[in-house]
Amino acid sequence: MSDNNLRLQVILNAVDKLTRPFRSAQASSKELATAMQQIRARFQELDAKSGRLDGFRKASAQMAVTGNSLKAAGDEAAKLATQFSATNRPTAAQARLLEQAKNRVTELQSKYNGLRQSVQRQRLALNEAGLDTKKLSSAQRELRQNADETRQALDRQQKSLKRLGEQQARMNAVRDQYSRRLEVRDRIAGAGATTSAAGVAMGAPGVAAGKSYAG
């Protein structure tokens, strides 16, 4: 192997040795970024499930309250209807009160039916998502635990990515410093070659004259 080829091989080996950690760090950075995206997606999924559970709990509570109001309104309407029927000559005020009571029952019944359908739809969706609506407390507790674990995993990945970024910055600085040294060395080598060539050119006439004189 010639000196030039040997020197080139040494340089290539040095560059490979220098950039290998950088390439490895880049691959690790991509893996971390992908992992963080997956963790964020998981966190968003858990957050959405938690929101749906809260919505189901509120809708169920509202349905229960509306159901109680509907029962009370129905009892009141039934009482007024009994009184109205028992009166030989019911007054207009009694008729008006009975009509208002019936309207109240109709209004609450419509509201209750809507809430019941909403709760049924939400229960079905939550069951399909693997959340048992019959065990709301345990389901929410499990979601909070999963969310905490996911948040901790995200924090760890972010710290790892930060450390990796700092490592890459240090390696970039080392690589740039190495590249500058190579450039300086090449300039010095080029200047030396030029000087040597000039010296040979200047010495050539003297050698020729000496040969002529000797002849």
Please name the amino acid found at residue 137. S
Sign of CA dihedral 95, 98, 100, 103: negative
The answer, as to whether pTM is greater than 0.75, is no
* 3-state secondary structure string across 66-103: HHHHHHHHHHHHHHHHHHHHHCCCCCHHHHHHHHHHHH
Fold of 3-210: Helix Hairpins (1.10.287)
Task: Supply the pLDDT for residue 208.
Answer: 47
Task: Supply the pLDDT for residue 71.
Answer: 97
Task: Supply the pLDDT for residue 117.
Answer: 96
Task: Supply the pLDDT for residue 12.
Answer: 54
Task: Supply the pLDDT for residue 181.
Answer: 75
Per-residue pLDDT of the chain (215 residues; tens, 9 = 90+): 555 555 555 555 655 565 566 556 566 667 767 777 777 787 778 778 888 888 998 999 999 999 999 999 999 999 999 999 998 888 999 999 999 999 999 999 999 999 999 999 999 998 888 877 777 677 667 777 877 777 787 777 778 777 777 777 777 777 777 677 777 777 776 665 555 555 545 454 544 444 444 44
| Domain-wise residue ranges, the chain | 3-210
Task: Supply the pLDDT for residue 209.
Answer: 45
Q: Half-sphere exposure of 116 toward its Cβ, with a 13 Å CA cutoff?
A: 8
Q: Which two tokens stand for residue 51?
A: 């929101």
Task: Supply the pLDDT for residue 3.
Answer: 58
